Copies of this chain bind each other. A is one copy, B any other.
Amino acid sequence: MNNFYALIMAGGGGTRLWPLSRKTRPKQMLSLVEEQRTMFQVSVERLSPLMEPDYIFVVTGREHVERLSQSVPQVPVENFIVEPFGQDSGPAAALGTLHIQHRDPDAVIAVLTADHHIADQPKFRRVLSAAGELASREYIVTLGISPSFPSTGFGYIKRGEELAQIDGFQTYHSAGFTEKPDPDTAVQFLTTGLYSWNSGMFIWKAYQVLSEFARQQPTMYALLEEIKRAIGSDSYRETLDRLWPSMKKLSIDYAVMEGAKDVAVIPVDIGWSDVGSWATLFEVLAGDLNGNVSRGRGQEHIKIDTRETLVVSNRMVVTIGIEDIVIVDTDDVLLVCHRDRSQDVRQVVGKLKESGDEIHL
């Protein structure tokens, strides 16, 4: 399949792994799961047996593009598509799709994330391949993650009637997307066995998703059309900068997926994690005999009676008599947090935003 492209969405500036992730150093730039490679590098490299680097496109912010492109020299710099500023995933995915379509009007595109962990990479590539095949048959495909617990932190996709089986993967019509559920609903979802987590990974034909934009988001589509005409011309940058502020800030789910026709889902278990909190990162990493994990350059962790403790630091850390603690030690902020409370890092980030503390954000 030589019309199969990847579009890696690397614009995010999430702060859920604060204080390590910052506005200027988002999660995809961190080397956490692997010590030598950033999550973005891993996201690019795990595609390599599936497609040539030349087929990998990246959407990101102007402030990140240089660092990201230098970190994956195998990907041509012209494959980096710049958003003038973040407008959520809808406009970003559409912009990337336009560029790939400009190169290949027949393109099938896998829209992927830059900061998620996938343990089973061979299976991930196989299911992507199957999804590409299904997308060629004019389905907008979503990868549905088999839920391992009744999470209230993800949206869900319900499977409908069976579609083809491709390369061992059973595919389904989508019976609809749902928002993040309350705890009871999440338990029901798991019980039925019909729901998957919405991973944010979609596989579509360029023209098909753009016609969904035309149908569901006509105002946005008009702007996209104007941008599309400017691609490759001298006026591209000026056109983009002028029109971008008028884009509606919408997630791709809201913008088109929830209302799209011919949506399919492939439920799959690929050891996926969004690494959405320190506790989630902790689960992904292999600990020592006492469940301790240490990360960092030149890090020395001296442990006395220490269990289930995550240390992220670039210097000597001594822990004595502690358990279930996350320690994140950055240049200007130190976080010491109970493992079960790592979601509350958001509260702190919220307070810093309120108080206008840009230095620590």
Contact = CB atoms under 8 A, between A and B. Distances in A.
Given A302-B348, A348-B302, A351-B302, A340 B321 contact: yes
A333 B318 contact: yes
A162 interface: no
A315 B336 contact: no
A2 B322 CA distance: 54
A90 interface: no
A348 B342 CA distance: 28
Interface in A75-124: none
Interface in A296-324: 302, 304-305, 313, 315-322
When all copies of this chain in the complex are counted, the total is: 2
A15 to B, nearest CB: 13
Interface in A169-226: none
Given A302-B351, A304-B348, A344-B304, A336 B360 contact: no
A304 to B, nearest CB: 6
Interface string A324-361: 01010100111111101110110110010000000010
Contact of A336 (B19, B305, B325, B333): B325
Interface secondary structure of A, over-half rule = strand
Given A305-B341, A325-B322, A334 B348 contact: no
Interface string A10-35: 00000000010000000000000000
A165 to B, nearest CB: 47
Contact of A345 (B317, B320, B347, B348): B320
Contacts of A341: 304-305, 320-321
Nearest to A360: B316
A341 to B, nearest CB: 3
A335 B304 CA distance: 11
Contacts of A322: 325, 336-338
A327 B325 CA distance: 12
A53 to B, nearest CB: 40
Contacts of A332: 315-316
A348 B318 contact: yes
B316 A344 contact: no
A332 B313 CA distance: 11
A70 to B, nearest CB: 30
Interface of A: 19, 302, 304-305, 313, 315-322, 325, 327, 329, 332-338, 340-342, 344-345, 347-348, 351, 360
16 contacts: A19-B318, A302-B351, A304-B344, A315-B333, A316-B332, A317-B335, A318-B335, A318-B337, A319-B336, A320-B342, A320-B344, A320-B348, A321-B344, A322-B325, A322-B338, A327-B336
